[in-house]
């Protein structure tokens, strides 16, 4: 919480990975600063799991859903996922997809490519969709997906690690150029600030995003206004 206060971050979304219990309890105790995103395995869920999610959404425990196609090996537009999306549409909550690079070699990139989101966006045009991590390294592809589809956003989280790596500063410069290309092509209205904390600090990520060569009003959209529109909060 101190890190949020020090960097003037009003609200953060904590993502569930393979269990919802920790995120749900954490946010219950820290609701002033955090929202939670639930998760579910589309390849292994039962009716009671959807009913539990429905109840949690109804009671405001979760503000989003996070899915992991590359790790669990499914395509976002697979029919087995449809009941999950219909639930998200019912409560007008966004569905985040881990997109692009994966942390483990046994994950499969073909499921995590941002191009897969285009089919989903066409099938479910009322579904609010977020491509996490800008689909990195396929940022150019993500650029077209968010430009084409009114219901698709992308977040800027997790593009580089907090730890020191070779050519880290050079990597940041290249990433900034690519983010600028996205904004110049698709506009600033579909991008959301994110960090992937605690893998990288809020301070370092804020300094990184603030280096973008864009208008000051567009920083307001990326840091705050786009999220307000996506989550329907005022």
Give pLDDT tens digits for 106-143.
Answer: 999 999 999 999 999 999 999 999 999 999 999 999 99
What DSSP character marks residue 183? H
pLDDT of residue 2: 75
Q: Give the global pTM.
A: 0.95
- 104, with CB counted inside 10 A (0-12, 13-18, 19+), is exposed
Q: 81: which 2 tokens?
A: 């996922």
Q: Where are the beta strands (DSSP E) in 58-192?
A: 64-67, 95-97, 129-131, 152-155, 191-192
Ranges of residues in the chain whose predicted pLDDT is under 50: 234
pLDDT of residue 233: 59
Tokens of 53: 């999610």
Of 131, 151, 150, residue with least CA distance to 141: 131
Report CA-CA distances (Å) from 173 to 158, 169, 183, 211, 213. Answer: 15, 6, 16, 9, 12
Domains of the chain with CATH codes: 44-231 (3.20.20.140)
CA distance to 24, 56, 96, 190, per residue, from 91 (Å): 17, 11, 15, 20
**pLDDT at residue number 91:** 96
pLDDT of residue 234: 39
């Amino acid at each position: 919480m101190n890190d949020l206060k020090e960097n003037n971050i009003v609200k953060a979304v904590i993502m569930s990975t393979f269990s919802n219990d920790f995120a749900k309890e954490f946010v219950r105790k820290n609701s002033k600063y955090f929202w939670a995103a639930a998760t579910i395995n589309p390849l292994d869920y039962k009716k009671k799991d959807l009913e539990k999610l429905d109840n949690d959404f109804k009671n405001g425990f979760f503000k989003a859903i996070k899915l992991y196609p590359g790790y669990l090996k499914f395509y976002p537009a697979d029919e087995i996922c449809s009941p999950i999306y219909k639930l998200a549409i019912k409560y007008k909550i966004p569905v985040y997809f881990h997109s692009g690079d994966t942390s483990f070699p046994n994950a499969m990139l073909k499921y995590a490519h941002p191009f897969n989101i285009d089919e989903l966006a066409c099938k479910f045009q009322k579904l609010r969709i977020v491509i996490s991590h800008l689909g990195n390294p396929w940022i150019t592809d993500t650029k077209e997906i968010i430009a084409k589809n009114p219901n698709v956003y992308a977040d800027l989280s997790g593009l580089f690690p907090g730890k020191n790596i070779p050519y880290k500063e050079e990597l940041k410069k290249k990433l900034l150029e690519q983010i600028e290309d996205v904004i110049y092509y698709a506009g600033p209205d579909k991008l959301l600030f994110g960090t992937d904390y605690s893998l990288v600090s809020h301070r370092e990520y804020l300094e990184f995003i603030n280096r973008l060569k864009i208008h000051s009003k567009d920083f307001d959209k990326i840091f705050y206004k786009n999220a307000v529109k996506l989550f329907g909060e005022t």
